[in-house]
Amino acid sequence: MPIETPLLYESKGSPNARRVRVFVAEKGIEIAQRAIDLGSREQFSDAFQAVNPRMQVPALQLADGTVITEVLAIWRYLEETYPHKPLLGSTAKGKALVTMWERRAELDGFAAVMEAARNALPGLKGRALSGPHDRTDSCIGRA
C-alpha cells in the first residue's frame, strides 16, 4: 500500500530498532512509526513479510515504496535526508572516526552480547539468527 511519508517499522523490545529510534530522537526529527510485536510473532505475518521479506525490524518504508533495512543503511538515509544536525560526522576524519567507533561498538560489544543472549536464553532456543530461521521455535519477547 502506498504511503505518504516515511514509516519506521520498529519494536520496543528490539535493540536494533532502538538504535534507529535513538538516532531519530537525536536528530530531532519526526518519523511516523508502526510497532511490530515480536512477542506475538508479528514479524512473520503476511502483512509484514510484504514490507520486509527478511522479517526483521527496523525497516524504513519510504513514500515511493522503497524499504530500507539494516540499521546503518537507515542511519545513512536519515543523515543525508536530514543533514541539519550531522550525527555520522561532517569531515573525512569525523566520518571515519564515527564509522570506526560504530564498528567497534557493534562487532565487539553489541554483537557479542546479542549472540550470547540468542544462544543462551531459553526463550530464544533455536533462534541464534533473527529473521526467517527456525521460525517454529520463535518466542522473542516472551518471558
Q: Which is nearer to ligand GSH, 19 or 27 (CB)?
A: 19
How many residues bind ligand GSH (CB under 6 A)? The answer is 17
Q: Which is nearer to ligand GSH, 90 or 113 (CB)?
A: 113
15 binds ligand GSH (CB under 6 A): yes
3-class SS of residue 61: strand
Strands 32-35 and 7-10: parallel
Using the rule CB under 6 A, give the single segment among 2-10, 26-34, 68-76, 86-94 that binds ligand GSH: 68-76
61 binds ligand GSH (CB under 6 A): no
Alpha helix stretches (DSSP H) within 33-143: 46-51, 71-81, 92-104, 111-120
Order the strands of the 32-35 sheet from edge to edge. Answer: 32-35, 7-10, 59-61, 67-69
Angle (nearest 5°) at CA 62 between 97 and 135: 85
Binding positions for ligand GSH, 70-99, rule CB under 6 A: 70-71
38 binds ligand GSH (CB under 6 A): yes
138 binds ligand GSH (CB under 6 A): yes
* H or E stretch covering 19: helix 15-27
Please give the residue ranges that form the binding site for ligand GSH (CB under 6 A): 14-16, 38, 43, 55-58, 69-71, 127, 130-131, 138, 140
